[in-house]
Amino acid sequence: MDSVKLYDTTLRDGMQGENIFFSPEDKIKIARRLDDTGIHYIEGGWPGSNPGAAHFFELAQKISFKQAKVAAFGATRRPGTKCENDANLTALLDSAAPVITIFGKSWDLHVTQIMDNTLDENLAMIRESVAYLLARNREVMYDAEHFFDGYKANRQYALDTLAAALEGGTRTLVLCDTNGGSMPCEIDEIVRSVMDHFKEHHDICFGIHTHNDCAMAVANAINAVHAGAAMVQGTINGYGERCGNADLTAIIPILALKMKKNCMAEENLKKLLNLSRFVSETANVPPVSSRPFVGKSAFAHKGGVHVSAIMKNPKAYEHMDPAQVGNVRRVLVSEQSGKSNIIYKAEELGVDLGDDAVKQKQIVSSIKDLEDDGFEFDAAEGSLKLIMEKLTEQYKSYFDLESFRVVVEKDREKPCYSHAMIKIRVGKTTEITSAEGDGPVSALDNALRKALSAMYPRISDMHLVDFKVRVIDGSDGTDAKVRVLIESRDTDNLFTTIGVSEDIIEASWQALADSFQYKLSLDHKDTSTTPA
């Protein structure tokens, strides 16, 4: 089985993406997870470019990684400067990183028009910088920046830049599609041509580094491996400058499961989904549901015909077992659903629909009526479970609302002020509490939490993750119905609930109350907790 090395550049190239930022401490946490998942190389940043990158390498020196090697990234020496006098090369060595990835220019346009340099001096910069770093006991990789554009513009010079790096002593050449404009057919042809040109050098490891400007980054990386590349550079979730980098969460399963390449152990593949979510949460960027392999919707089924088929054999509509990458199959329920969706979903959520076909048909009809009224249960499985329990008379309410009042005040000088008073009943006990909040929903959340906390202490584990409001039909103006989705998280679970009403506070209350009811049902299931 052919081996392919995985090189992660989330902590450097990924951070060049819009709205992506990691502190040095964040980068250490991510590096630990990358190492635990089986990534071979972790690029920590450019130590000569900013203090944050340098601080990461200081922290990394104190950590013993299980298998990953930490790489520092930087440029060749400056034109007309000796290597020993170049501040960038000095910073790379001072980082104490065992691996140094150094980039140079492969496109004559960049050499002459952007750098105002000569072609010969550029070759000398590559050759001398690589040799200088290798002589100081570092593993050195050479990133040929803009290689594919350079190859198409001036084939011989692009090859000369690679030859200069080999003359300096490196045996790892990474071909970069820096502008992300190359097509898969071009990548395949050029990689094969380059490898054939250097076929006498049997010890060269060719790598690939692609960007996603034509939505081809993953395809280009895979094509390069198919052509013979033995290293892939990319980022988790495809974060990166402009349209992003090649997404390792897609590349790794394709290499391991589709191409049968030896790149990651089976037990580590199952960590990919959690790795993807951890990085997105650390970046404070919502996960993309449609992301292949690790997205929430990657193995989601909505059409009744599809669901009926996967109940017989999942291979009918799934290209792989989602558990191989740590994901799960999901069946969605909506107005397009058939009985198969409802039966499957009920079983998944732990709701017994019974064997009465007439009753099952009534449940399907009731859920479709609610969807027609504006509810959207494929995005709110927490509320769906509660609805199913109500329709089958299995629902247990952990509290009942008697009333609430929300006051919002505003004067010229101060921002809006919200205060909520709520009266609920738990069994025979009535609680009346009040609380403030940053807005009416926040105030209601705080008041309800305050009222329930004495009887259900584990409520403190739950917090709101996301709050979304959407007008269902704008033609009615301010009288239009709104849909509110609330996403909540506790220690072990992430769940979404929904509310629909012409009144935004009423819709918010429905979703908020469902989130607490669902949370309490989980706690009751886990611990058989009853009110104190």
pLDDT tens digits along 288-335: 989 999 998 899 887 767 777 887 888 898 999 999 999 988 777 665
- pLDDT of 338: 63
- 359 has a pLDDT exceeding 80: no
Burial class (CB in 10 A: 0-12, 13-18, 19+), 165: buried
Torsion on CA atoms 235, 328, 68, 31, rounded to nearest 10: 60
- 530 has a pLDDT exceeding 50: no
Give residue 331's Cα distance to chain centre: 21
Q: How many residues does the chain have?
A: 532
Q: What is the pLDDT of residues 395-453, one digit of tens each?
A: 899 999 999 999 998 887 778 889 999 999 998 899 999 999 888 999 999 999 999 98
Nearest-angstrom CA–CA distance, 114 and 119: 12
pLDDT over 90 percentage in the chain? 67
Domains annotated for the chain, with CATH where assigned, are: 5-264 (3.20.20.70), 300-391 (no CATH), 400-527 (3.30.160.270)
Q: Predicted confidence band at 337 (pLDDT cuts at 50, 70, 90)?
A: low
- pLDDT of 353: 78
Average pLDDT, the chain: 90
Give residue 156's Cα distance to chain centre: 40
Say if residues 213 and 179 touch (Cβ distance below 8 Å).
yes
Burial 407-428 (b: 16+ CB within 10 A, else e): eeeeeeeeeeebbbbbbbebee
How many CA atoms, within 13 angstroms, populate the side-chain half-sphere of residue 290?
0
Nearest-angstrom CA–CA distance, 96 and 57: 7
Q: Residue 105's closest CA among 150, 168, 47? A: 150
487 CB neighbour count, 10 Å cutoff: 19
How many CA atoms, within 13 angstroms, populate the side-chain half-sphere of residue 148?
27
- pLDDT of 479: 65
Q: What is the pLDDT of residues 385-408, one digit of tens each?
A: 898 888 888 889 999 999 999 999
- pLDDT of 208: 98
Instruction: Looking at 327-423, list the stretches that DSSP marks H as alpha helix, in order from N- to C-terminal side.
Output: 339-349, 357-372, 381-391
How many CA atoms, within 13 angstroms, populate the side-chain half-sphere of residue 469?
16
Mean pLDDT throughout 185-208? 96
As a whole number of angstroms, the longest Cα–Cα distance in the chain is 88
Q: Which residue has the higher pLDDT, 313 or 172?
A: 172
- pLDDT of 531: 46
Sign, CA torsion 382/387/392/395: positive
> Full-prediction pTM beyond 0.85?
no
Give residue 319's Cα distance to chain centre: 21
Q: What is the pLDDT of residues 481-493, one digit of tens each?
A: 899 999 988 877 8
Q: Residue 238's closest CA among 300, 184, 285? A: 285
Q: Predicted confidence band at 101 (pLDDT cuts at 50, 70, 90)?
A: very high
Q: What is the pLDDT of residues 118-165, one digit of tens each?
A: 999 999 999 999 999 999 999 999 999 999 999 999 999 999 999 999
Secondary structure class of 337 (helix, strand, coil): coil
- pLDDT of 270: 95
**Dihedrals φ, ψ of 302, to 5°?**
-120, -40
Q: Residue 129's closest CA among 70, 73, 82? A: 82
Q: Measure CA of the first residue to CA of the last residue in the chain; give whole Å.
A: 60
- 202 has a pLDDT exceeding 90: no
Q: Predicted confidence band at 478 (pLDDT cuts at 50, 70, 90)?
A: low
498 CB neighbour count, 10 Å cutoff: 26
Instruction: Return the residue matching tokens 């997205």.
Output: 295
Secondary structure class of 359 (helix, strand, coil): helix
Q: Predicted confidence band at 532 (pLDDT cuts at 50, 70, 90)?
A: very low
Per 3-state DSSP, the chain is made up of helix, strand and coil in percentages (nearest 5) of 45, 20, 35
**Dihedrals φ, ψ of 33, to 5°?**
-70, -40
Tokens for 15, please give them: 């951070």
Q: Residue 43's closest CA among 15, 1, 79? A: 15
Q: Residue 385's closest CA among 235, 222, 517? A: 517
- pLDDT of 355: 75
Nearest-angstrom CA–CA distance, 462 and 386: 18
Q: Predicted confidence band at 529 (pLDDT cuts at 50, 70, 90)?
A: very low
Q: What is the pLDDT of residues 3-21, one digit of tens each?
A: 999 999 999 999 999 999 9
Tokens for 62, please give them: 């104190």
